Amino acid sequence: MTIALVNGRVLTPGGFVEGQAVIVEGRRIAALAPDDAVPDGVLRHDLGGATLCPGFIDSQVNGGGGVLFNADTSVAAIRRIGAAHRRFGTTAFLPTLISDTLDTVARGIAAVEQAIAEGVPGVIGIHIEGPFLSADRKGVHDPAFFRTLAPEHVALLTSLKGGVTLITLAPERADPALIRALREAGAVVALGHSDAPYATASAAFDAGAIGVTHLFNAMSQLTGREPGLVGAALERDAVYCPMIVDGRHVAPTTMRLAMRCKPIERMMLVTDAMPTVGSTEDWFDLGGRRVEVRDGVCATADGTLAGSHLDMATAVRNAVAMLGVTLEEAAMMASATPAAFLGVSDRMGSIEAGRLADLVALDADGRVVSTWIGGEIGT
């Protein structure tokens, strides 16, 4: 079926345009054409003046809809998580495993591979966040699972077929040669949960790491005499820097200063979302620890942040309100930039001919009206 999305403000790679229809054939965008030039016989979908953006791409989704991926590594769980986040404009995501056993990692990879094969909407790969992390910057991760990356781990970590694999590791727990091996095997490598000094972080970037996991959170900080992982990431224009823009994980002033150091094409949004997103529940169990949502933040009883209660549509609105960026820039940080980071910008992340019809329509307040994944409409 061919449909034309008309009467909207469309975010193209060149900026917002009006009076342009997005023509969708099957799963892909066929063309952009003036609203009044849509061919006869093409079904029109009236956007009612909504803003049409590329669908949001979230590279760190621990859970949603009441499901924690670590606790339920099944295709059904992935489907439920994806459905919960789709309501907030996320049309592509990586189910994320925090530090656990390698058996859990293997089960998670198998479930994601099956979910992709079955066409579960939105899932494009997996994010393995740990267990190759530092106990000095553990955050809410259980250090009992931590280990040093060894050559025998590479095959497991890169075994996913047909999808993206993002691996977060601490460079002090991974020899640069093994980081290089992960990259050569096709994985995307990010640095996080690390207390590494600048030199160690820089060596990891030289070896092939291309980003960090939640800039500023759970990593060595920029100080007067030791730049740390934060300094190493901000110094390099090519390094991608996702941020959790909820105003609680990182102070808005700190985020604005970071953005002055980097091309905006390397700053991106991520949720680090937990099961409470898209759920009526205000708590969940994390490896035997109770995590509650308090004032919009997920935290353990001792106040340790445990992921977030953030969705991508809210992150986009927060970016506009807190970071001083335009809606166009915020939407890019949620779509085009993560697509480039994950190596999928040839098929998603922008509204142009040939790309998948992964789209989100927003109202005047930046709230989701409708979504399309591969040309299929949903809400």
- Known catalytic residues? 272
Q: What would the DSSP string read from start to end of 180-194?
A: HHHHHTT-EEEE-SB
Residue type, position 302, single letter: D
Whether 358 and 34 have beta carbons less than 8 Å apart is answered as: no
Q: What are the strands of the beta sheet with 289-294, ordered from one edge?
A: 283-286, 289-294, 297-299
CA pair distance 206, 232, nearest whole angstrom:
11
CA pair distance 159, 185, nearest whole angstrom:
9
Whether 185 and 154 have beta carbons less than 8 Å apart is answered as: yes
Q: SS3 for 77-140, per residue?
A: HHHHHHHHHHCCCEEEEEEEEECCCHHHHHHHHHHHHHHHHCCCCCECEEEEECCCCCHHHCCC
CA distances from 172 to 197, 198, 229 (A): 9, 11, 11
Residue type, position 238, single letter: A
Which helix (H) or strand (E) segment is 328 a member of? helix 327-333
